[in-house]
Amino acid sequence: MEILRWHVGDATILRIGEVDAMAALQGLIPRFDPAAVAHAPWLTPNFVDDTRPVDGAWRPTFPAARYVMSAEEFRYWQSIPENAIADQHAGFSDSVLPVYEAGLVDLVADDHVVTDGVRLVPSPGHTPHHVSVMIESGGRSAVIYR
């Protein structure tokens, strides 16, 4: 998979993709078999990679990292019953809860300053407390919305 890289002033931003589309595919294709996908060589490395559960449980991809998350966004997903919006809640269960339970999460305000030149900007709409990242460096700025 190509690593996307761009510059804002003196800052370099790298996009590291982390998506598990298995839950969505299982909802769209009733007889979808994740094991069959894992053994389809034409799908790797561009569409399927080795990021997966370990011993049946999801593990943090970057165990030495700190994960900065909107506290209100986290509480929102924590308060929604899993079966209420199962397809959207799956991402919370397999990607967010493992890093939280590993003690790697800093729950912060929606307008948190991460460091000089990097801060969160509230951008609700996609979800109630969605945030984007504002990068400011060398007289230039960019908002990264994800």
pLDDT digits (tens, 9 = 90+) for 126-145: 889 999 999 999 999 988 87
Give the max Cα distance, the chain. Answer: 53
The span from the CA of 61 to the CA of 69, in Å, is: 16
Domain residue limits at 84 = 4-144
User: Number of folded domains in the chain?
Assistant: 1
Read off the pTM: 0.71
pLDDT score of 58 more than 90: no
CB contact at 8 A, 121 and 112: no
The span from the CA of 116 to the CA of 135, in Å, is: 9
pLDDT score of 99 more than 80: yes
Residue 146 or 71, more confident: 71
In the chain, the amino acid numbered 115 is: T
Q: Which residue has the tokens 């991809």?
A: 61
Q: Which residue has the tokens 């999801």?
A: 58
**pLDDT tens string 1-47:** 456 788 999 999 887 665 555 555 666 667 767 667 666 777 666 66
For residue 52, what pLDDT is reported?
62
The span from the CA of 53 to the CA of 65, in Å, is: 18
